[in-house]
Structure 1
Amino acid sequence: MRTILTIYFLTLSIKLVAYSFSGVTAVLADALHSIVDIVLLILLATASKASERRADRLHPMGHGLLKNVASLAISVAFITVLAFELFKEGINKILNPVKSYPNLEVALFSELLVLGLLLLATVLYWRSKGIVNRTVMFESFNDSLSTLAAIFGIIAISFGHNIFDGIATIVIATLIAINSIRLFFENARFVIGLSPPEEFYSEVEKFCISKGIKGVHDMLALYMDENSIHLDMHVTVEKNMSVGDADELIENLTEELKKKFPQIKHVSVHLCSHFGDKRKIY
Structure 2
Amino acid sequence: MTEGPEMSSLLVNESGRLIPGSVQYGIRRYVKPQGWMAEDTGMLQYVIAPEEKGGNRLELHFCITGNMYCKEQVGGCRECKAHNTANCPKQFESVDLLTFTFTPSVLAQFVKSRAASNTLADDVLTFRHTQSFSQLVPLCNRMRSVLDGITSHNYTDTLENIFVNAQTQMLLLYSLDCMLGEKEIDVITCKFLANGADRDKILKARDVLIEHIGEPITIKELSRKVAMNECYLKKGFKEMFGTTIFDFYQNQRMEHAKYLLYEKGLSVTEVSMMLGYSSISHFSTAFKKHTGLKPCELLLR
TM-score normalised by the chain length of structure 1: 0.20
Higher strand share: 2
Q: Rg larger in 1 or in 2? A: 1
Higher helix share: 1
